[in-house]
Chains A and B, each alone.
Chain A
Amino acid sequence: MSRSRLRTRKVTNAVMLGLCGLSAALAVIALLAILSYTVGKGLPAIGLKFLTSLPQPVGDPGGGIGNAIVGTTVLVALACGIGIPAGLLAGIYVAEFAHPRVAVVVRFVADVLFGVPSIVTGVFVYGLVVVAMGGYSALAGGIALALIMVPIISRTAEESLKLVPNTLREAGLALGVPLWRIILSVVIPSALPGVLTGIMLGLARVAGETAPLIFTAFGSRLNYKGVDEPIAALPLQIYRYAISPYADWQRQAWGAALILIVMVLLASVAVRLLTRKRSSNLGR
């Protein structure tokens, strides 16, 4: 190879490596900036009372986000209870059983659903559930969040299942095992890390959704009263406090934001820890 061409290639290589490193650094810096800013502004607001008490009117001392923490937990649990089974079953169906043309349609629908702005989902659930039930409710909020979760879980589950080599399914079939059993006992466990990642992505996404909750869960300054009643939620609380003109509430908004990030982080870590033993050995 001529010397000048070799030099050009070396320079190009170095420049591209530098750009890659720079991009990675920028991404990490952005993440660290958000985290550190939130921690810096939110940590002063954290305290036991803050975490457990109900919101107080402005001016009154104390007040906290206890009901919002419970509310977010309830809403995310509802969303998972509806969204995870629906998303998983859809993903499994498309990956394993669907006729190719049906699969294309289902995949397309999932992608469209994924692209629907969450506020539109909220308005839709308002028309469907809130009006029918005669009022805002945690259930409506859970349904709206589930609708946002389903395409995320379905697509990642489908992609993870498709990554499992077909040789495993054939090995199971050759033993005289019915296909559904192979999928349940061999394919899904092998695809579990990817499936779990999809679930965690969905969970993190809906835990922070605000717009759909405005029309469905509505928010509340009271304790949890049941799934058929309006319910507080951390993102709603953050929104309402942050846009308020009161410094105290704005401080509490930062604290709530920090708590929300910590909750999602803890959930991710917990899921990974609990399922660590079942990681697959597809590497060989």
Chain B
Amino acid sequence: MTRALGSVAVRLALVYALVFGLGGGVLWSVLTIIVARYAAEAITTDLQTETRVLLAEDGGSDQATLVRKVEARSRVGGLFVYSVTDPQGQRLAGQLPDGLMPRQGLDEIQLPYAEDDGGPAEEVPVRTLTTALPQGTLVVGKSTYAVHELEELLQDIGLWAVLGLTGVAALSGAAAGGLLSARLSRINRAAARIMEGHPNERVPSVGLGTELERVRRNLNALLDWQQRALEALRHVSTDIAHDLRTPLNRLRQRLDRAQAEAVDGRVPDAAIRAAIADLDQVLETFSALLRIGQLEGGAGRTSFRRVKLGDVVDRVFEAYQPASEESGHILTQLVDSDAEVIGDPELLVQMLSNLVDNALAHAGSGARIQIGAYDEGSKSVLAVRDDGRGVPADQVERITRRFYRLDSSRNTPGQGLGLALVAAITALHEGELVIGPNHPGLAVRVVLPRP
């Protein structure tokens, strides 16, 4: 029962019924009262007119004429009942029974009424207008039976009309709710399908208007986002499984050898140091992978704010300048933009630092390395260019892959994750990573949208 009450269809039906029932009832009652009052007023007007006509010639001072007029009208049998009495209350003419004397002015009395077929006498409500004459009184009355009839008829019609309206309202409420439920169940079905293992399934069009369409679009966007995050994480776990096995295996072999070569159970210090270095590299790779996975999953966007690209370049340049000079490189900076982007300054600094690390490691000694920030149309660019060895054109696309290392750089330290991290941070900022030749050397540009 409570379950049924919770459904949209039942609730809408109840609410519609209540609103239309109450509204219809009030409307009809007001209508009935107005009509009845109007009819009653019409009778009063009739009584006043008839009285005025009867007393028109002499104001009722000539009683004999009045009696004659009344008798004539009574014989014809019209809409009115009359009574003319003398000052003692004795009836001189008219149909009102003796002893039934309405009050002065307007009054309501019950008049016995015999059916033509001799059935039991009934009482008919009669409205009377009693006027005092110089001698006696004049009573003019008119049945209000029709008014009461009308009132009752209106009430009956009203009752059925309101009941009908309520019924229709309840039905349409139930129909609207049912329609909504049916459309919403499409969303539920899609959700069930996705959870059953069809991650590519999406919510079909729901119709019924722009609001539901917006819900559908947002749900699908949410699903896309979720799926991307999930795939990124799955990717990372696969990478971890495949690519950490190699260095871990190397570590194991090293430890095996150390154990075999141990003299009197003592492992040489050098072996331990080498093992620790191996392990450190594994851990470093591990955290780099985790970080890339998190960034690809969208982590870090919560700390986005306005970042001035010039500041990012300044920080990286200042931090790297002495070290690059010591390693025989010429590091310069070129900031030609006041541009701000929406991003995480720490991640952008890390990204740029990674690119400079790459240039320092691969461009070769004596190379010039330029860190720059400049505008390109509606976008802004962070770039690191060098005039070193560069990357063969057919390899450019591959170097952002995880663990990919050019044959020529196998002997330098690193795990091949630097550019993958750069790519992840770029993607997080909705930017584009463009790697190309610098004639000579390599130009890595991160093209970022300006707010």
- Decide whether A and B are members of one complex: no
Write the residues of chain B forming the contact surface with A, with a CB cutoff of 8 angstroms: none
Write the residues of chain A forming the contact surface with B, with a CB cutoff of 8 angstroms: none
